[in-house]
Amino acid sequence: MHDMQAARGAPLNDPPSGAGGGPHLGLLLVVAAAVLVLDVTSKIVAVAQLSDREPVELLGGLLTLRLVRNPGAAFGMAQGLTIVLTVVAAVVAVMILRFGRRLRSASWAVALGLVLGGAVGNLVDRILREPAPLRGHVIDFLELPSWPVFNVADSAIVTGGAVLVLLSVLGISHDGTRGKH
């Protein structure tokens, strides 16, 4: 019967749940919470261990720990737009939460959870860090060769976005159905 459902375009995973949201809203929230905890914790440790210190090379220079306070977006772009970036991150978070109530795909839930956790992680910095509320600088501390300094939240956003693109290319919908190619 499972194959018949898949052949007719029916959801490939859990059946719809009650009014509380899709069956994978909880998964989205758990992934987002895990990313947020890892991001906030890593930034606290980075500030404590890397402030007023030369960069630390690890793995033969493959990874460098370098503390940077970033007032802009990823890769240091849009440095004068901190308030705009704060508002955009908040809107993205709200949109993902609203959309998450309709999720029927575990893959989409994980991908959106990564994006949500990363967006909220950087949003926390913008709201709470210096120089002022809503103008705070995001803490970045991971650097790869020939790559701008980034953080756990940035990694989660990029990974989640890549998974969303892959799911779309494969024709896998947020409701768990597979589109025709």
Tokens standing for 123?
A: 């949003």
- Residue 140 falls in the annotated catalytic set: yes
Query: How sure is the predictor about 71, in pLDDT bands with cuts at 50, 70 and 90?
Result: confident
Among the listed residues 52, 125, 154, 175, the single catalytic one is: 154
Placement of tokens 């720990």 in the chain = 65
pLDDT in tens, 115-136: 999 999 999 998 898 887 777 8
CA distance 100 to 120: 15
Among the listed residues 39, 52, 140, 175, the single catalytic one is: 140
10-14, 27-31, 77-81, 93-97: which has the minimum mean pLDDT? 10-14
Average pLDDT, the chain: 84
Distances, alpha carbon 149 to alpha carbons 29, 55, 81, in Å = 27, 11, 19
CA distance 68 to 12: 44
pLDDT for 15 equals 42
Does the pLDDT value for residue 64 go beyond 90? yes
pLDDT in tens, 14-57: 444 444 567 899 999 999 999 999 999 999 999 999 999 999 99
- Provide the percentage of residues in the chain whose pLDDT is more than 70: 81
- Residue 154 falls in the annotated catalytic set: yes
Helix (H) or strand (E) holding 94: helix 82-100
Q: What's the one-letter identity of residue 106? A: A
Please state the length of the chain. Answer: 181
CA distance 126 to 123: 5
